[in-house]
A and B are shown apart, each in its own frame.
Chain A
Amino acid sequence: MKIDHSLPLEYSTDQNKLNILGFWIFLGAEIMLFGTLFASYFTLVDRTGTGPTGAEIFEIAPVLIETILLLTSSFIIGLGIHAMRIGNKKAMMIFFGITLLLGAGFLGFEIYEFVHYVHVGAGLQTSAFTAILLTTLGTHGAHVTFGLIWGIFILLQIKKRGLTPETANKSFIFSLYWHFLDVVWIFIFSFVYLKGMM
């Protein structure tokens, strides 16, 4: 592998550049995925059948906490990448660790939220609206869960192998993924919750 030292570590080999471009294209596909979920959500949002509407079941407190946790985590992973760029392995690992903890916190509140929905009679099978609500949130939540496991693997590799072009590349790609989840959440927060509660 030829390493080009004039570039940041994550871009320093040809394969690394390919990986990053490939991942951007993958994010394009992810935008379509969530775009389709949103389009379906807007189609079905008023089709509540005999079930409750959004305004009846949404609770602002957990959602706000989730939002704050995820936004902060997205900021902190940015610090992590900065630490990686200046070669500070330890700081980087700490920032990544905090990111994952915040992500886990987000997930905890989301699980609480789901239990609440089922509790108030808004389960998967209640109506078209509840189905698409839980599916959209669930898809985002599943992405976060996947990200948590992925992130732990990356941390383990950095611990064992240090900051190499390969691990740096993975961490950078992971940070793109994490920012993306944050952006999706902002859409969910605005168009599902805020709009739903109005």
Chain B
Amino acid sequence: MDFFSRFAVPHPSPAIYASMVAIGLTVIAVIAGLTYFKKWGYLWREWLTTVDHKRIGIMYLISALIMLFRGGADAIMMRAQLAVPENKLLDAQHYNEIFSTHGVVMIIFMAMPFIMALMNFVVPLQIGARDVAFPRLNALSFWLFFAGAMLLNISFVVGGSPDAGWTSYFPLAGNEFSESVGTNYYMFALQISGLGTLMTGINMITTILKMRAPGMTMMKMPMFTWSSLVANIIIVFAFPVLTVALLMGTMDRLFATNFFTTSNGGMDMLWANLFWVWGHPEVYILILPAFGIYSEIISTFSKRNLYGYKSMVGSMVIISLLSFLVWTHHFFTMGQGALTNSIFSITTMAIAVPTGVKIFNWLFTLWKGKIVITTPMLYSILFLPTFTIGGVTGVMLAMSAADYQYHNTMFLVAHFHMVIIPGVVFAMLAGLTYYWPKMFGFMLNEKIGKIAAWVISISTLVAFMPMFFSGLDGQARRMYTYSESTGFGIWNMISFIGAFGMAIGFALIVYNIYYSTRYASRDIGSDPWDARSLEWATHNPVPEYNFAIIPQVESSEGLWDAKKKGHVLFKGDYEKIHMPNNSGVPFIMGAIFFAWGFSFVFGLWIPGILTTIGIFVCMALRSFEKDHGRYISVKEIEETETKMRGAK
């Protein structure tokens, strides 16, 4: 019984018990299915142990989509609770847990893996490389992310979810006010997946700097590669700050230290500062690759090269620097003083300038272009006005004096959803549709895709525009209910309808995947979009070795110039190709990290120590291991190439 009260949910409700049963049944069904169809071996050999950047990208993609639905379910519950005044659907504690997990899941476990998916899949292809610099490390990054995601996701059935918001402000997140283990989960889930992200950062920077195809100078890199490079540099500088903040937060909770308490010298504002020194750059880690995707798509479907390549690169570099200089705008109202507020007001507004440069570059690209409206292009065009609304309200928020009115109201919630959904989510859906044929060898249905794009973007406006008004009227965020007399009811009802519409839009995307998997033609050639950069110069789906011969490029639009100016991309004969071997160690380490996090969440010291030892044993084994990979022979390459060409 003691055991049960420790591990079970501190705030049980029928919904949570139902989820427990559902999770249990799903796990049993998956295990039974894998056993029945004898797929364990396949799963292990082809996926769990893979070090291929393309498969790792696809695993990130699947995780991101699943997490989108997890976070979406939370969003719907929140909107349903707020749809009418004095609603009794959720109680206050439950609401706290839901907005906290929604935020964490969406930012850390949905948006991040989504960009990681595209970065992993696309960057090596775009620069004409065979893999990333450290394929093994890449697999480990994925499994660490996955371990963190699972840890956070079991929290609501084992021990309770975090309930102090995705920002986990202390002292609210300290033991005194967050009694359940929820915030411990937060600390460990973010720590573990953050380690994975840092490793990806190192891996990607090295890959981009060192493994570009001959002829591809830095200023000839495609725009998505540029954006990934900049985002990964931000990762390497921002994530260690989070590591330290989480370490100190964990110690406060587990070992009763006094970093962020309000007694014995502790300083709660230190958490806020450290969190946002990471947190603000984090949003640019998300948005810059999204901008990169838009650049690729807009130039492909305007049938013209990107306007202002150099200013695009320059503005990204400036954004990356400024992103570290604005964090205080998150607590203008928390007593920083007028001078500090003014400085951070100005730096924040300054970010609008390079961002504006990018928007105008896209508009100029469209201006002279021959526009083809495909699904990815539709998302990109819908992105421009929607994102601008979000951006302009951001400048409003940046005025520190005015922020005393908006702070922590629905106005803020509306602002950041209006930037992050068109900015990141649309870009990822566009990228998903655009790169789908590269990943799987068939196209997603254009008609369903376009309907989904319209439904999602209109619903986004319906869901979030009303929050600007209720926010200006004073509806606070994170409030689980409100009274009839406030008059917020109507706005929240409209919001709920919008949220529901978004859910329908996402369901349409799932249906599209199902429909196209069944019915789409597999006979699409290697360049179905008539695209411009190198990733479209190899087959669909991409063979294991990416390129049979390493391409030689003369411009940032290698394929386009090969098509139009007769540049020759592939010179010479096939040579045997060196590939890394698969390895089970990254997966096993991910599993141990999961157990490690779980043990410390509950303060189970003995398993905690054992798993710590396990992690080091894995590293030691890796150190002693001799694994020089393997070679793909010329004969095998020839066979694959003929088969792939035949399939065209």
> In the assembled complex, how far is the CB of residue A28 from the closest CB belonging to chain B, in whole angstroms?
6
- In whole angstroms, how far apart are the Cα atoms of A29 and B240 in the complex? 6
Given A21-B209, A33-B240, A131-B258, is A49 in contact with B202 using a C-beta cutoff of 8 Å?
Answer: no
Does B133 have its Cβ within 8 Å of any Cβ on chain A? yes
Does B244 have its Cβ within 8 Å of any Cβ on chain A? yes
Does B8 have its Cβ within 8 Å of any Cβ on chain A? no
Q: Find residues 398-442 in chain B having any chain A CB closer than 8 Å to their own CB.
A: none
- In whole angstroms, how far apart are the Cα atoms of A125 and B263 in the complex? 11
Does A124 have its Cβ within 8 Å of any Cβ on chain B? yes
Q: Which residues of B contact A33 (CB under 8 A)?
A: 240, 243-244
Contact B265 A157, beta carbon cutoff 8 Å: no
Contact B623 A43, beta carbon cutoff 8 Å: no
Interface residues on B, range: 35 or more
Q: Which residues of A contact B277 (CB under 8 A)?
A: 36
> In the assembled complex, how far is the CB of residue A163 from the closest CB belonging to chain B, in whole angstroms?
15
Q: Which residues of A contact B245 (CB under 8 A)?
A: 36
Q: Find residues 80-135 in chain A having any chain B CB closer than 8 Å to their own CB.
A: 124-129, 131-132, 135
Contact B244 A126, beta carbon cutoff 8 Å: no
Binds A, one of B79-87, B247-255, B513-521: B247-255
Does A1 have its Cβ within 8 Å of any Cβ on chain B? yes
Contact B258 A49, beta carbon cutoff 8 Å: yes
> In the assembled complex, how far is the CB of residue B208 from the closest CB belonging to chain A, in whole angstroms?
11
> In the assembled complex, how far is the CB of residue A4 from the closest CB belonging to chain B, in whole angstroms?
15
Classify the secondary structure of A's interface with B.
Answer: helix
Q: Which residues of A contact B263 (CB under 8 A)?
A: 49
Contact A124 B620, beta carbon cutoff 8 Å: no
Contact A153 B620, beta carbon cutoff 8 Å: yes
- In whole angstroms, how far apart are the Cα atoms of A40 and B624 in the complex? 38
Does B5 have its Cβ within 8 Å of any Cβ on chain A? no
Given A32-B241, A47-B267, A48-B265, is A127 in contact with B236 using a C-beta cutoff of 8 Å?
Answer: no
Q: Find residues 256-288 in chain B having any chain A CB closer than 8 Å to their own CB.
A: 256-259, 261, 263-267, 270, 274, 277
Contact B133 A22, beta carbon cutoff 8 Å: yes
Contact of B205 among A17, A25, A149 (CB under 8 A): A25
Contact A37 B244, beta carbon cutoff 8 Å: yes
- In whole angstroms, how far apart are the Cα atoms of A177 and B143 in the complex? 26
- In whole angstroms, how far apart are the Cα atoms of A37 and B628 in the complex? 39
- In whole angstroms, how far apart are the Cα atoms of A102 and B237 in the complex? 32
Contact A36 B623, beta carbon cutoff 8 Å: no
Contact B259 A132, beta carbon cutoff 8 Å: yes
Contact B270 A135, beta carbon cutoff 8 Å: no
Contact B624 A131, beta carbon cutoff 8 Å: no
- With CB as the reference atom, state the residue of chain B lying closest to A129: B265
Given A135-B251, A153-B623, is A18 in contact with B266 using a C-beta cutoff of 8 Å?
Answer: no
Given A17-B210, A25-B206, is A128 in contact with B240 using a C-beta cutoff of 8 Å?
Answer: no
- In whole angstroms, how far apart are the Cα atoms of A43 and B245 in the complex? 13
Does B134 have its Cβ within 8 Å of any Cβ on chain A? yes
Residue of B134, B198, B257, B578 with highest tally of chain A CB at under 10 A = B257
> In the assembled complex, how far is the CB of residue A31 from the closest CB belonging to chain B, in whole angstroms?
8
Does B63 have its Cβ within 8 Å of any Cβ on chain A? no
Given A22-B202, A49-B263, A49-B265, is A124 in contact with B240 using a C-beta cutoff of 8 Å?
Answer: no
Q: Which residues of A contact B264 (CB under 8 A)?
A: 49-51, 125-128
Q: Which residues of B contact A36 (CB under 8 A)?
A: 240-241, 243-245, 274, 277
> In the assembled complex, how far is the CB of residue B314 from the closest CB belonging to chain A, in whole angstroms?
22
Does A75 have its Cβ within 8 Å of any Cβ on chain B? no
Contact of B624 among A1, A19, A124, A157 (CB under 8 A): A157
Does B239 have its Cβ within 8 Å of any Cβ on chain A? yes
> In the assembled complex, how far is the CB of residue B104 from the closest CB belonging to chain A, in whole angstroms?
21
- In whole angstroms, how far apart are the Cα atoms of A32 and B258 in the complex? 23
Q: Find residues 483-507 in chain B having any chain A CB closer than 8 Å to their own CB.
A: none
Q: Which residues of B contact A32 (CB under 8 A)?
A: 236-241
Does B315 have its Cβ within 8 Å of any Cβ on chain A? no
In the complex, per-residue mask of B128-146: 1 if CB is within 8 Å of any chain A CB, else 0: 0000011000000000000
Given A22-B206, A28-B237, A128-B258, is A43 in contact with B628 using a C-beta cutoff of 8 Å?
Answer: no
Does B203 have its Cβ within 8 Å of any Cβ on chain A? yes
Given A25-B202, A29-B239, A40-B244, is A157 in contact with B255 using a C-beta cutoff of 8 Å?
Answer: no
Interface size on A, residues (CB 8 A): 40
Contact B266 A47, beta carbon cutoff 8 Å: yes
In the complex, per-residue mask of B173-207: 1 if CB is within 8 Å of any chain A CB, else 0: 00000000000000000000000001001110110
Given A47-B266, A135-B248, is A29 in contact with B258 using a C-beta cutoff of 8 Å?
Answer: no
Contact A43 B270, beta carbon cutoff 8 Å: yes
Given A21-B206, A25-B205, A32-B241, is A128 in contact with B259 using a C-beta cutoff of 8 Å?
Answer: yes
- In whole angstroms, how far apart are the Cα atoms of A48 and B277 in the complex? 25
Contact A28 B265, beta carbon cutoff 8 Å: no
Does A26 have its Cβ within 8 Å of any Cβ on chain B? yes
Q: Which residues of A contact B251 (CB under 8 A)?
A: 124, 131, 135
- With CB as the reference atom, state the residue of chain B lying closest to A154: B623
Contact B265 A127, beta carbon cutoff 8 Å: yes
Contact A127 B258, beta carbon cutoff 8 Å: yes
Residue of B134, B209, B264, B266 with highest tally of chain A CB at under 10 A = B264
Contact A124 B255, beta carbon cutoff 8 Å: yes
> In the assembled complex, how far is the CB of residue B128 from the closest CB belonging to chain A, in whole angstroms?
15
Contact A157 B623, beta carbon cutoff 8 Å: yes
- In whole angstroms, how far apart are the Cα atoms of A49 and B266 in the complex? 8
Q: Which residues of B contact A21 (CB under 8 A)?
A: 206, 209-210
- In whole angstroms, how far apart are the Cα atoms of A135 and B238 in the complex? 20
Contact of A18 among B134, B201, B261, B616 (CB under 8 A): B134
- In whole angstroms, how far apart are the Cα atoms of A44 and B270 in the complex? 9
Q: Which residues of B contact A154 (CB under 8 A)?
A: 623
Q: Which residues of A contact B240 (CB under 8 A)?
A: 29-30, 32-33, 35-36
- In whole angstroms, how far apart are the Cα atoms of A54 and B259 in the complex? 17
> In the assembled complex, how far is the CB of residue A125 from the closest CB belonging to chain B, in whole angstroms?
5
- In whole angstroms, how far apart are the Cα atoms of A153 and B623 in the complex? 8
> In the assembled complex, how far is the CB of residue B540 from the closest CB belonging to chain A, in whole angstroms?
29
Q: Which residues of A contact B257 (CB under 8 A)?
A: 124-125, 128, 131, 135
- With CB as the reference atom, state the residue of chain A lying closest to B252: A131
Contact of A125 among B209, B238, B256, B267 (CB under 8 A): B256
Residue of A30, A44, A129 with highest tally of chain B CB at under 10 A = A44
- In whole angstroms, how far apart are the Cα atoms of A124 and B628 in the complex? 46
In the complex, per-residue mask of B592-621: 1 if CB is within 8 Å of any chain A CB, else 0: 000000000000000000000000100010
Q: Which residues of B contact A132 (CB under 8 A)?
A: 248, 259
> In the assembled complex, how far is the CB of residue B316 from the closest CB belonging to chain A, in whole angstroms?
19
- In whole angstroms, how far apart are the Cα atoms of A49 and B206 in the complex? 46
> In the assembled complex, how far is the CB of residue B157 from the closest CB belonging to chain A, in whole angstroms?
32
Q: Which residues of B contact A28 (CB under 8 A)?
A: 236-237
Name the 8 nearest CB pairs between A and B, nearest first.
A47-B265, A128-B265, A49-B264, A49-B265, A32-B240, A33-B240, A131-B257, A36-B244
Using a CB–CB cutoff of 8 Å, the interface residues on chain A facing chain B are: 1, 17-19, 21-22, 25-26, 28-30, 32-33, 35-37, 40, 43-44, 47-51, 124-129, 131-132, 135, 149-150, 153-154, 156-157, 170
Given A30-B240, A36-B244, A36-B245, output 19 extra A-B contacts at Cβ < 8 Å: A19-B134, A25-B236, A28-B236, A32-B238, A35-B240, A40-B244, A40-B259, A43-B267, A44-B265, A44-B267, A47-B267, A48-B265, A124-B251, A124-B257, A127-B265, A128-B257, A135-B248, A153-B624, A156-B624
Interchain Cβ contacts under 8 Å between A and B, 16 examples: A1-B578, A18-B210, A18-B211, A19-B134, A25-B205, A29-B198, A35-B240, A40-B270, A43-B270, A48-B265, A49-B258, A51-B264, A125-B256, A126-B264, A127-B264, A129-B265
